[in-house]
Structures are given as structure tokens and as C-alpha cells.
């Protein structure tokens, strides 16, 4: 899964098809797991938060839209069992878990069929399925983050998609992670509702469009500093991003979420922070020099320990390659 520091929202098509977008994000050591196994019969067995069993000829009847459209995209005509579980809930948390699942599912099916696929291909296929086939009004940074992994600057435009890593070593990533804290607000939400409003505003609201321009500037400025390994700019970018983010749609924040941020930055001493993902709930990310003080200030909310992870989607075990 991933956390975003700046630029989030500019990866929506309504913006990057007309302007140049930039997102700064990092993957973390919280994972979505996908197990895929061929069956001897023609049944498709699915185990996620629900259980489904259909014949391979009836793929259109599958309720899970990501699985249904991925199996159709991959032209699966054989029995298969797919199991999904994760370290945290996969809906409404803002950490990109849905896109992580889709990227993982694509990689697993490609591997099952003995087909090589690169990171760009995985991300592109996931974007196509999630946005075009499933009709999700979302951005494209989550798919690229899940496919590539690491701490990256991602640039998007109508003609080009580019991912550039900052090249932090393990010790530097540990240092950055030690300053970061994630707190779960306990509020889950459908990101599509917030993003649909944001998309509409990006097409017609000049104030929102201008603020998104500023948001991209913040991301580009942060990227310049991170290339120089100046991590002290991270909390400044988080603070600016949150101020801008709240203007993109009216349902991004609310009094409870504003109170969490105020407590963290005043009582808890956090130097900056923002909601992760579309907004409306999920996780708050904060930069702090004193995690204990911040945790005491937000004692009503559960902290989720994490570190930045260098890896994107990968195959952990392929039984087809084992020799007994």
C-alpha cells in the first residue's frame, strides 16, 4: 500500500489530460495478498470478504467487479481459485488498497500463465480495468505506486507517464519513517463519491483548478528537495497539501477530521500532516519529532506502525517453479 505526500488529486484524468500532474508517494510495509491456483474443473472459486462460486462460462455473473473484469481481460477460460486478504481493510482507508489488489491479481494471473509483464504494463492494465472497465472515477497514482514500489515522483500527462525514484538508501528510508505516524480515524468512506465531486470541480471550478496547480507546484518543489535528500521539506509540503486539499471538494474534511489535525499539530506538536487518499476519513499521516507526544494527543485514535518499503507488487511463491 502507499502514502502520498503531495500532488494527490492531480492524477485524475480531468486534470492530467489538460495539465501536467505530479504526485510524490511511497509504498509502505502493509500488504494486500492474492493467492491464485488453477483448478482441475471449470469452477471459479473466490474468497475475499465474500465467497463466490461460478462456472468459468458464467464469469459475467461474478459480483466482485475487479475480479470479474480482470478474468475477462485475461481471457481466463479455465477453473481457478482466487483468495484475497490484507493487513488492513481494503476499502475506504485511503491507502490505495483496492488498486494494490488489482495490480497483485494481474501479476498473479500473468505468472500463473507463464507470461512476463513489466511494471509499466501492470500499472497500465490496472488503470484500464479499474477506470475504463469498472468505471471508477479515480486517479492513476495508486496503480503505478503498487506496481513500482519505493519512494517516487510520478509525472502524468495526456501523452506520458513517468516514475522516478529518489534513490534513498535503507538507512535514509528508516530515518524518514521514524518521523512519520499514521492514525486511523475510524471513518471509512467511498472514495468514488468524493472523487466524482472533485472531478466535476476540476472541469468547471476555476478556484479548484488553480489550487490544483498550486498543489502540483508543492509536489514539484518537494521533489527538488528530496533529490537533494533534504527531508525537512516533507512536513512543509504535507501542511501545504492539506490546506489545498480541503478546497477540492466539500466532503474531503469535516469538523471531526479538522479536530484531529488541530490536536495533532497543537497539542501533539506535529510539524505537518494530511489525510491520505481522497479524504473524508481513513488515515491521517503526520510528521513529528516526538511520536510519544503525538500519540498521547491522539489517544482516541489507533496508530498503525509502518516503515517505507522499497518493493512493489511481487511474486512471493510460485509453486509451478518448485522441483520436488
CB contact at 8 A, 250 and 66: no
What whole-number percentage of the chain has pLDDT above 70? 97
Whether the CA torsion 192, 193, 198, 199 is positive or negative: it is positive
pTM: 0.94
Fold of 32-163: Ribosomal Protein S5; domain 2 (3.30.230)
Superfamily of domain 169-303: GHMP kinase, C-terminal domain (3.30.70.890)
- Domain limits of the chain? 32-163, 169-303
Half-sphere exposure of 217 (CA within 13 A, CB side): 8
Q: What is the mean pLDDT of residues 120-146?
A: 96
102, 107, 91: which is closest to 133 by C-alpha?
Answer: 102
pLDDT in tens, 44-63: 999 999 999 999 999 999 99
- CA pair distance 257, 44, nearest whole angstrom: 42
- CA pair distance 141, 248, nearest whole angstrom: 17
Judged against a pLDDT cut of 90, whether residue 267 lies above it is answered with yes
Amino acid at each position: 500500500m502507499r502514502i502520498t505526500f503531495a500532488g494527490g488529486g492531480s492524477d485524475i484524468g480531468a486534470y492530467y489530460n489538460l495539465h501536467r500532474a505530479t504526485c510524490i508517494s511511497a509504498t509502505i510495509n502493509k500488504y494486500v495478498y492474492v493467492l491464485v491456483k488453477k483448478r482441475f474443473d471449470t469452477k471459479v472459486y473466490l474468497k475475499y470478504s465474500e465467497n463466490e462460486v461460478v462456472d468459468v462460462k458464467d464469469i459475467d455473473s461474478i459480483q466482485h467487479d475487479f475480479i470479474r473484469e480482470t478474468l475477462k481481460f485475461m481471457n481466463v477460460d479455465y477453473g481457478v481459485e482466487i483468495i484475497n486478504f490484507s493487513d488492513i481493510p481494503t476499502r475506504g482507508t485511503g491507502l490505495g488498497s483496492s488498486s494494490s489488489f488489482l495490480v497483485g491479481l494481474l501479476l498473479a494471473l500473468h505468472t500463473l500463465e507463464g507470461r512476463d509483464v513489466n511494471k509499466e504494463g501492470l500499472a497500465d492494465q490496472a488503470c484500464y480495468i479499474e477506470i475504463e472497465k469498472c468505471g471508477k472515477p479515480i486517479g492513476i497514482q495508486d496503480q503505478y505506486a503498487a506496481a513500482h514500489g519505493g519512494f517516487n515522483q510520478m509525472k502524468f500527462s495526456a501523452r506520458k507517464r513517468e516514475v522516478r525514484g529518489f534513490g534513498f538508501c535503507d538507512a535514509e528510508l528508516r530515518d524518514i519513517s521514524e518521523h512519520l505516524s499514521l492514525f486511523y480515524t475510524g471513518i471509512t468512506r467511498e472514495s468514488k463519491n468524493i472523487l466524482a465531486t472533485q472531478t466535476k470541480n476540476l472541469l468547471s471550478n476555476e478556484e479548484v483548478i488553480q489550487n490544483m496547480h498550486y498543489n502540483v507546484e508543492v509536489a514539484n518543489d518537494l521533489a527538488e528537495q528530496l533529490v537533494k535528500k533534504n527531508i525537512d521539506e516533507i512536513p512543509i509540503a504535507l501542511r501545504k497539501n492539506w490546506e489545498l486539499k480541503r478546497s477540492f471538494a466539500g466532503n474531503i474534511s469535516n469538523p471531526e477530521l479538522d479536530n484531529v489535525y488541530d490536536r495533532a499539530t497543537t497539542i501533539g506538536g506535529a510539524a505537518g500532516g494530511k489525510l491520505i487518499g481522497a479524504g473524508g476519513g481513513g488515515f491521517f499521516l503526520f510528521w513529528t519529532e516526538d511520536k510519544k507526544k503525538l500519540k498521547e494527543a491522539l489517544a482516541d485514535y489507533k496508530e498503525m506502525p509502518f516503515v517505507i518499503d522499497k518493493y512493489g507488487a511481487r511474486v512471493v511463491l510460485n509453486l509451478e517453479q518448485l522441483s520436488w
